[in-house]
Structure 1
Amino acid sequence: PSPGTLCRTKPTDLVFIIDSSRSVRPHEFEKIKVFVSRVIEALDVGPNATRVGVINYASAVRSELSLQGPQSKAGLLQAVRGIQPLSTGTMTGLAIQFATSRAFSPAEGGRGSAPNFKKVAIVVTDGRPQDGVQDASARARAAGIEIFAIGVGRVDMGTLRQMASEPLDEHVDYVESYSVIEKLTHKFQEAFCVVSDLCATGDHDCEQVCVSTPGAYRCACRDGFSLNSDGKTCSACNGGLGSALDLVFLIDGSKSVRPENFELVKKFINQIVDSLEVSDRQAQVGLVQYSSSVRQEFPLGQFKSKKDIKAAVKKMSYMEKGTMTGQALKYLVDSSFSVINGARPGVPKVGIVFTDGRSQDYISDAAKKAKDSGFRMFAVGVGNAVEDELREIASEPVAEHYFYTADFKTISKIGKKLQMKICVEEDPCECKSIVKFQTKVEDLINSLQQ
């Protein structure tokens, strides 16, 4: 497992309650099954570990998988692949009632009120139910079932709040379409993690120093060494260029972004610029916008202060056409980081690619070339951005170099995670690495904000 992602899952009775009503198209139902499968893949499955059940509902309720069903991950995944949609109405309350009275019962493999086992239901729905959910949900919660409610598309948000456990901000999720529901996988993988000291138990592969974080860990290095890109091994420092950094933003200006969201993107850029030390000897910033074509807004080093960079970002006009991400990545490699465009030889190069949809051209070659050239690439996706493309753009370890949010309004949160701390010591070895990006891990966020 990659550093930072290994965790043990709590023994849980987990039941998915999935809406397959008429409004859920067959290809969308397949996306739900992928989401369910991805969550299962991260669990410790077994008779004494986590058991998984699946309830499929529309006008009627069907138990597809009971808690006493397959006790192996492979068996569960095979069963999920075989589930077919019911394609009738939306009786969400009935489905929750069925979960409480049947799915979590000892007869179906539920482990009752045993203190070491959690009871969790994950409801996925895309519409307004044709029955009441409030009473059924209250009874479920009173029975010790923790309910997560995921709404898709034109779902009624009030209904989700009636279903979900407290605190609501941790138990209610919304995605714009089924095509992006898979993005919630990571949240639920984390939700089932046991908070344990994986460093103490030896469940890590750090070469020098293991730092425990809630339910996971990260690797670090002793003084005089810096962490390699694999996130595990360390190399002796050889001195360097202190806090120098060449950073280029590659921004999607396609029609799907929409003008009001493009303004939020500009705020996102300036949020990161605010965290830099900008000067000839420290950070330089360049900006490229792309849609059907590529336009350099300003090259590295043109502006010598944060104030001037932010003013130029605010003035950037919106291109509003297609999404040629591959062409833009090629421009980044061939032009943005060239000496003629202000790049400094020997200075670390960082690219932050922002996109909201599937590329209309081929990205693989340019994405690979960027990383092979030694550029550290971060991929930020919003809305209908495609996870496979984000992963292809992102540097290793991928989980630390790509970010996704379903809604433009929340990209400022990603901005906080991406803010950089530039080392100011003359000897960069004192800093472990020249640039650190904030991650979701709380202790690292705190250390970077000091």
Structure 2
Amino acid sequence: MAQFKLDQKNNYYLSIDSRSYFFERFNEIPLAGSRRAGLQLSIFQSMVETEPTSLSLCVADGVVVLCPPDCTERSVSVFGTGIYASVSSVCGAAIHRGVLGPSGGPVRVHKMQGRHNYMSSYSHGIQSQALSRWSASFNLTSRWSHLSRSSVGTTALPAAAKPDCQMDIAMVIDSSNNIGKRRFRLQKTFVAKLAAMLRVGSTGPHIGLIQASDSPRTEFLLTNYTQPKELLFAIKELAYLGGDTNTGKAIMHTVETFFSQENGGRRGHPRVMMVLIDGWPSDDLERAAILARDSGINIFLVSVAKPVPEELAMVRDKDFVKKAVCKDNGFFSYLIPSWFSTTKHVKPLTQKLCSLDSLLCSKTCYNSVNIGFLIDGSSSVGEGNFQLVLEFLAGITRSFDISDVGSHVGAVQFTYDQKLEFGLFEHTNKEDSINALRRISYMSGGTATGAAITYTTQNLFRRKGPGRNFLILVTDGQSYDDVRGPAMAAQKQGITMYSVGVAWAPLDDLKAMASEPKDSHTFFTREFTGLAEFITALVRGICRDFTENN
């Protein structure tokens, strides 16, 4: 029996047959296909006997050990009466039970559930064999008397992605001759760790995968696997393709086909493409990357083992990283020195992928704005014309991507009084928002536009967001109160105002209420039937304002 214990200084000890082994950190994490927790630790022998207290955990049928997240190519080993533990150089770990004497001898190997990639490791004169040859014994060539505490630190397993990490992620992996079969397996392990930390699910991220080779191959779509265990198994079963590193071709394929609604793309959810390249691509990335940016897709380029100086002559475009990423600001490119040291990069890369506020390429005006409609319901408008106003506003709404994580619309009707018809976050899809507009009942009454602007500022735009809040005012006449003061106050709160006047609406008042430049934020028509002609210009104006402010 093995026991894990905690002393008063928060050090943990592995106690076996009354002997203590010191280690730095302890974390419980679930093992795939297992009902019990795995134990993640880095083990060292303690030279000082201590009296362990507090926490105690018994593990039946052998000790289960996982590699620490920041393990390097060094190996650390512990052995003593009844157990030998090895942490291999490729971040695999295995437990070997039995007595190891000076002459070696047979040992019984305890296979850990959920791990299938143990490689051979050599440490302190002991050679362990690969998983496929676990029936053999070890050879002990020299007796080891003391293992000092390692200088290599460990970190706790990073927390999984935030539950609000709601995005659609296409993973484009390298399956070319450049990476080879061995590094391809390491790449799959790295991708699996990323996927496990992201925690796919109906309310979280969705993940699909494409292999880059001579021709791209979609392995699974965003909605094929909605449970983490299924996704990890699908990654494990990926077959190596070989061929050229045509990453540009794979990016183009992904942009054109992968994020469609038919293939599981969700409206309003940020679109992310994480591209893994071993070394450098065989083709050009720039054209495909431009199309991705124009499509609102955030490309993260993860390059592993960048070209050494003597290889640079073979690189087609030395600036391929800058040209490929969503924005050349350092956030969207990530360099990993070697496939043998990827584990410590899982957490920071996951954090980048889930940084919704930094996903600049998905922040288009169509899916990132809050639009308020301030509708004149005075007696001079009339029932028939009021319906034309509502259809005009429905046409504007139709141009935007309305969703819980995308754009929002809300409406206020005014006469002398004001009425909040529906709030910005009340309807989370386009159809419901348009239906809500069409259900608005005509009020009839006087015209107090200034008071209506103040009411809307206080009751509709309660959430602030620079460059995101827009107010479209539609009126057909003279206001009975001051409009300049309330309009200036609204603009100081970050609301961009568009004035749309019909019939007898004074042009001076319309321009006074509109944001700068006045001419591009002011619209006027003699007839209500002319409102529809403004839809395209208004949408373009909102997009222009959004782009300039973001």
TM-score by length of 1: 0.40
Say which structure, 1 or 2, has more relative contact order (CA 8 Å, 6+ apart): 1
Larger fraction in helix: 1
Query: Greater CA radius of gyration, 1 or 2?
Result: 2
